[in-house]
Amino acid sequence: MINTVQTALVPVVGRLIAADQEVPENDLNPIALEMKELIWGFGAFAVFALVLRYALWPPLKRSIDGREQRIADDLAAADEMTGAAKGDVDAYEAARAEARAEAHAVIEAARATLESERAEKIAAANAAIAEVRARALADVEASREAARGDVEAAVAAVTASVTERALGRRPSDDVIRSAIAATSPAGAAR
């Protein structure tokens, strides 16, 4: 490769040297490069390019390739971890759904138990209320009968007294009772 560069540069350098000799001294451009500077600059560039190509580029290329491989491995590991995490999330969601179902079943069982206990207590309370009501009605009826008996006795006494004063003699108790029974609504209902 160096030989190819040298054979290509020899005619160019020869022409530049010839051109350098033909320029008069007073027409020199202060910015223009001399042929020696061009050759040294090109030679330094060629050496630097060769050092870069054969000495620096292979380790740099291996480093780049290694980094690309590590990135690819990391991406594969990340995909694997993502899949595992999704599996864990799915397992968590399934366990959560199962726990909710169990909690719902427990709540429903407790609700059914409470409802049956409530129904039993309401039935017991209704039975107790019915018993108390029956006793109260019996007491009221007994009080009513006692009061009715007292009223009938008072009416009988008043009727006997009024009849005795009106007729001058006391009527028999059976006649008074039958008269009271015929005239009182409670007696007629019996």
Confidence of residue 154 (pLDDT cuts 50, 70, 90): confident
Residue 56 maps to a domain: no
HEC profile of 1-15: CHHHHHHHHHHHHHH
Residue with token string 């009416």:
155
**Could you give the number of structural domains in the chain?**
1
DSSP 55: I
- 81-137 pLDDT, tens digit per residue, is 999 999 999 999 999 999 999 999 999 999 999 999 999 999 999 999 999 999 998
| Residue 170 forms part of a structural domain | yes
Instruction: Fill in the DSSP letter of residue 95.
Output: H
CA distance 134 to 126: 12
Residue 50 included in any domain = no
Which residue's entry shows tokens 């309401």? 122
pLDDT tens digits, one per residue of 169-181? 777 777 777 877 7
Residue 151 covered by a domain: yes
Has residue 60 been placed in a domain? no
Whether 16 is in a domain gets the answer: no
Model confidence at 146, pLDDT cuts 50, 70, 90, reads confident
Q: Is residue 149 part of a domain?
A: yes
Residue 152 lies in domain: 137-189
